[in-house]
Amino acid sequence: MPDRDFAGADAVTSALAWLEGTLLGTLATVVAIIAVASIGFLMLTGRINARRAAKAVLGCFIIFGASTIASGILGAVRGGPEAELARAAPPPPQLPPPPAGSQSATSPYDPYAGAALPPR
């Protein structure tokens, strides 16, 4: 459970933080690992079908990923930073043309032409 400062929080907030830490903490992770391992063993012995096992594993993913799922949905609805990343980026700036006296792109000289070849 992450260290949080609840000195100024009321009892309900502290209780909810404790519940969140319990449901998403080390104990819950251990229980989920044991559940997935036992489901795998039951599938191996043919005592549970794949559909029911997939539901249980999907439930573990939803429980542990609930905060990420909720923040993604809220960001999409509010148009927050996640929505701004989805917008198209502006095109890159155009480079100025090279000066007249310098080597152009059609120059036969390439300083990296043999860089990938082994030495003789």
pLDDT over 80 (residue 16): yes
Q: Which whole number is the average pLDDT over 113-120? A: 69
For residue 65, is it within any domain?
A: yes
> What is the per-residue pLDDT for 80?
60
Query: Is 61 inside a domain boundary?
Result: yes
Is 112 inside any structural domain? no
The number of domains in the chain is 1
Looking at per-residue pLDDT, the higher value among 60 and 114 belongs to 60
Residue 49 within a domain: yes
With respect to residue 106, please indicate whether it lies within any of the assigned structural domains: no
Q: What single string gives the DSSP state of each residue in 14-34?
A: HHHHHHHHHHHSHHHHHHHHH
Can you tell me the mean pLDDT for 2-19? 72
Residue 60 CB neighbour total at 10 angstroms: 17
For the segment 75-92, the average pLDDT, to the nearest whole number, is 66
Per the model's pLDDT, the better-predicted residue between 99 and 11 turns out to be 11
Residue 51 structural domain: 11-86
Flag whether 33 is in a domain.
yes
Closest among 89, 43, 98, 35 to 64, alpha carbons compared: 35
95 falls within a domain: no
Report if residue 98 sits inside a domain: no
pLDDT digits (tens, 9 = 90+) for 102-114: 555 566 677 777 6
pLDDT for position 107: 62
